[in-house]
Structure 1
């Protein structure tokens, strides 16, 4: 089982992109588009106060007739943010994401943000683990040494 810390290492020090709650939703969308990401953590200083996603925009701005330039992130962000610790496993994270219909999980250690993992990061890791197991089984069955 892969630990979250190992998944973060495999991402090569990927930056966690953030925004402030008083920024506009337009600024959040622009940042997500520029970075090719689907979510931003909402921070006040070092504290995580929410997360804003493309889904929040679709459901809380576009469908409600609001404008992204005039709406603050605080008005559409999700405030109950679940997080994981670096020692947790990919399987634990996958279960948490599946049970709660999440796509992103902040990684926190000693009350400090250390990273962000996505459902895509977990799927990539699980596929890699399965590929390794399959290769080992093939070597065992054929008598080859890997």
Structure 2
């Protein structure tokens, strides 16, 4: 299973970095408005800016198209100069296209700042919803490989005194198996625990929740996905497991 969630802290940090990079480009534009840049300097600036915008908004973002129009505006201005245009008109046309670039970047910053404010508001709402899963999760992540037999899994659960274990293949977590499912598979279905591996009966996909999410969100997700266990992620990495037992511990007032 490939983890797709990124913590809100990481997302805010990324937005801050994108905003800073675009502001740096705006500082360069201000210099261009004071002193006319050479064509080579402007081309280098445009190339760097396009890379920054693609990183921040995606390569198919309309903002990139808008920035392209700002550059084309410079070419159009030069081509539309009347015959015998007075000296300095070309410079004024270039200044206008530089201003167009400036307005596009300012628009991009406004968009990113709005996203950052939205994330901050969402974080405040989650904080108001009560403690987060990081406060109640099991911080030790236990796992076994795909080729582990059911008997070996049972021994691990008993040794570690836990009710479930994650199934891992290399660096990737694929699913999990619980003590209840293990018992059902062996006793009710008559599966041979010595020769059968967890690959044949593990539950997948692995349902994840972020460390910053609330206990209320964990309950909602467990109900929605019909699971008693959630893998807890931070920075796109599994750092713990929260179970129904942990939720009950919270509502029972036990820390």
Q: Common fold, TM-score beyond 0.5?
A: yes
Tell me what 2:232 maps to: 107
Q: Please give the alpha-carbon distance, in whole angstroms, between the structure 1 residues aligned to 2:157 and 2:146.
A: 15
Alignment of 1:1-146 (within 5 A): 1-8=130-137, 14-128=139-253
Query: Matched residue of 1:50: which SS?
Result: strand
Specify which structure has the higher proportion of strand: 1
Distance in 1 separating the partners of 2:140 and 2:234: 16
**Counterpart in the other structure of 1:139:** none
Question: TM-score when scaled to structure 2?
Answer: 0.46
Secondary structure in 2 matching 1:128: coil
1:36-63 CA distance string (max 9 Å, x none): 1110001112211110112222333322
Q: Deviations over 1:97-141 (max 9, x none)?
A: 133332111101222111011111112112329xxxxxxxxxxxx
3-state SS of 1:49 partner: strand
Q: 89-98 or 50-59: which moved more?
A: 50-59
Q: Does the Cα contact within 8 Å between 1:46 and 1:112 map onto a contact in 2?
A: no
Which sections of structure 1, spanning at least 5 residues, go unmatched?
130-146
- Which secondary structure state, in structure 2, belongs to the residue aligned with residue 121 of structure 1? helix
2:140–2:239 CA contact under 8 A, matched in 1: no
SS of the counterpart of 1:59? helix
How many pairs were matched up?
A: 125
Tell me the C-alpha RMSD between the 2 structures: 1.7
Structure with the higher helix share, 1 or 2? 2
Q: Which moved more, 1:34-43 or 1:96-105?
A: 96-105
